[in-house]
Amino acid sequence: MQVGFIDYGIIAIYFAFVLGIGFALKRQMVRSEDFFLSGRSIPSWITGLAFLSANLGAIEVMGMAANGAEYGIMTAHFYWVGAIPAMLFLSLFMMPFYYGSRVRSVPEYLKLRFNEPTRAFNAISFAVMTVLMSGINMYAMALVFKLLLGWSMTASILVSASVVLAYTILGGLTSSIYNEVLQFFLIIFGLLPVAIIGLANAGGWAALLTSVPPGFGELWRHTGSIHNPMGVDWLGILSGLGFVLSFGYWCTDFLVIQRALAARNLSAAQRTPLIAAFPKVFFPALTVLPGMLALSLIPALGSNTTIYSFNMALPLLMAKYYPSGMLGIGLTAMLASFMSGMAGNITAFNTVWTYDIYQSYLAPDKSDSHYLWIGRAATALGILVSVGTAYLVMGFPSIMDYMQMVFSFFNAPLFATFLLGMFWKRCTPWAAFFGLLAGTLAAIGHFLLSHWGFLSYPSMMAGNFWRSTIGWCVNFGVTVFLSFLTRPKPEAELAGLVWGLASASIAIAEPWYKRPKVLAAIIFAMAVAANLLFW
């Protein structure tokens, strides 16, 4: 495979556009709210695609393909049992509280609903998590560039970091969101041909299944026991992935919620995850399928830990089938996906840092322009720290395992806090704090026990699923128990924050195709159909 000057040219043109958008938006970043929340003025098709794209980082593109090669179509559980139901739940049941309460971040919601310590705990753990995650993207990008272009790890990390730094510092969240949408289309156009051509070369779906290990083509048929490619039974899938991990991620992670908060009104905010869910139903064709194809078409895949690791499934497939020219588009698509994943984490990090840590505890009552300046400084700092975490990720065998491990510590327990906080008005502030603390500690304890060999699972992923379930259950149990021992907040303070105590909302008359409930029903039917199709 050769990378020609045309491929470099394509990458250069893409960089020029990305920076151009940053410069074009710079003039509009006057107030801190413009920078962190895009002035709450963005149409829902844009926030929806950005919502999707902020997740479409290395984890999704390379990680899901790697998992497809490792576990087969069961990887699609991350979509059809995991992400989709959680996105619908976020839209219908949780968005009214996030958007309706006019908070600027997820930790800020916890402050209103509970108390300062709960918010501080969440803000700090979230800040740690985002920089850990953003490092994955940088590492993955460096890996691809090293193998395909021959750049050194450090050079590719520095190039990607400086581009993301430039456009997020210039245009803030709007620039990040705009670039995410641009990246979304590039990713689709860059990845779709490899799936089509790969499938044609493999001789179609039925022929593909004969050349991959048994059980790779079925979602549920072998989940009566743990004797299936993933080593998890249906209960583990439904509770660990379907309920705790996915809901924990999609419903509480500020990285995704932030995109919806930038929408024009509540209805547009509710539509944001729904617009993202439509393409999401089809994504396994772009990620899981190429992984399975790579396993069949590239015999050496999985044979060693560097060039032929499962993480390289997608890049290897592109290198095999794309001619110079298309290869540039494919590389740009991967580059775009890493940058959107990184920028998503960084914009969420700078908001939480500035509003929930700096303004709340370190330097309250400063001018708005001061916070805008701090936001820009935090962007630079966040990227700098991510460069460090990129080197940390290098020590892990699979990026997906690394990510689900990080989620099982932070997101999985947190979801219990949100569920109780939003739907049970008796839930008290201190119970929430200690429940969250206990849940997080339980997840860490579980990790240490399995790390030292006291607990063992058929695969690292199975351990992640069960760790999440345990963290969630401990948090749920402790929070409920302590709620009965402590004093709840008076109902007057909870208006608009808890189910059943909604502040008066104005219903907007909208055509049927814009109504969240209608859209959600259609998407739900599509996800059910996908599950049945590959049963």
Partner 1 sequence: MLDLRLPIGWLFIILGSLVAAWGILKPTETSCGAISLNLNLSWGLIMLLFGLGMTFLARLNRQSD
Site of interaction with partner 1 (CB under 8 A): 6, 9-10, 13-14, 17, 20-21, 24-25, 28, 41, 46, 174, 178, 181-182, 185-186, 189, 193, 197, 200-201, 297, 320-326, 328-329, 332
In this complex, which beta carbon is closest to partner 1, that of residue 81 or of residue 343?
Answer: 343
Q: Could you tell me the smallest distance in angstroms from the CB atom of residue 231 to partner 1?
A: 33
**Residue with Cβ nearer partner 1 (123 or 313):** 313
- Nearer to partner 1 by Cβ, of 200 and 501: the residue is 200
Q: Supply the DSSP symbol for 455.
A: S
Q: Which residue has the tokens 């997820």?
A: 106
3-class DSSP state of 263: strand
**Residue 336: CB minimum distance to partner 1, A:** 11
Encoding tokens for residue 341? 């994943």
Q: How far is the CB of 15 from partner 1 (least distance, A)?
A: 11
Closer of 264 and 514 to partner 1 (Cβ): 264
**Which CB, 338 or 433, lies closer to partner 1?**
338
Q: How far is the CB of 220 from partner 1 (least distance, A)?
A: 32
Instruction: Compute the distance between CA of residue 264 and CA of residue 44 in angstroms, rounded to an integer.
Output: 7
Compute the distance between CA of residue 147 and CA of residue 527 in angstroms, rounded to an integer: 36
At 216, list the tokens. 């790779």
Q: Which is nearer to partner 1, 276 or 431 (CB)?
A: 276
Report in angstroms how near the CB of residue 118 gets to partner 1 at its nearest: 36
**Quick one: 190 or 413, whose CB is closer to partner 1?**
190
| Residue 331 token pair | 């590389």
Backbone angles phi, psi at 395, to 5 degrees: -80, -5
Q: How far is the CB of 17 from partner 1 (least distance, A)?
A: 5
455 class by beta-carbon count within 10 Å (0-12 exposed, 13-18 middle, 19+ buried) = middle
Q: Measured between alpha carbons, how far is 271 from 42 in angstroms, rounded to an integer?
A: 12
Output 65 or 94, the one with its CB closest to partner 1: 65
Question: What gap in Å lies between CA 520 and CA 515, rounded to an integer?
Answer: 9
Q: Which is nearer to partner 1, 51 or 243 (CB)?
A: 51
Distance CA 330, CA 345 (A): 23
* CA atoms of 273 and 45, how far apart (whole Å): 10
In the complex, the smallest distance separating the C-beta of residue 6 from partner 1, rounded to whole angstroms, is 5
Buried b or exposed e, range 2-34, using 16+ CB within 10 angstroms:
ebeeebeebbeebbeebbebbeebeebbeebbb
Find the shortest distance in angstroms from Cβ 127 to partner 1.
29
Q: Shortest Cβ distance from residue 264 to partner 1 (Å)?
A: 12
Q: What is the DSSP string of 30-97?
A: -SHHHHHHGGG-B-HHHHHHHHHHTTTTHIIIIIHHHHHHHHGGGGGHIIIIIIHHHHHHIIIIIHHH
Do residues 287 and 123 make contact, with C-beta atoms less than 8 angstroms apart? Answer: no
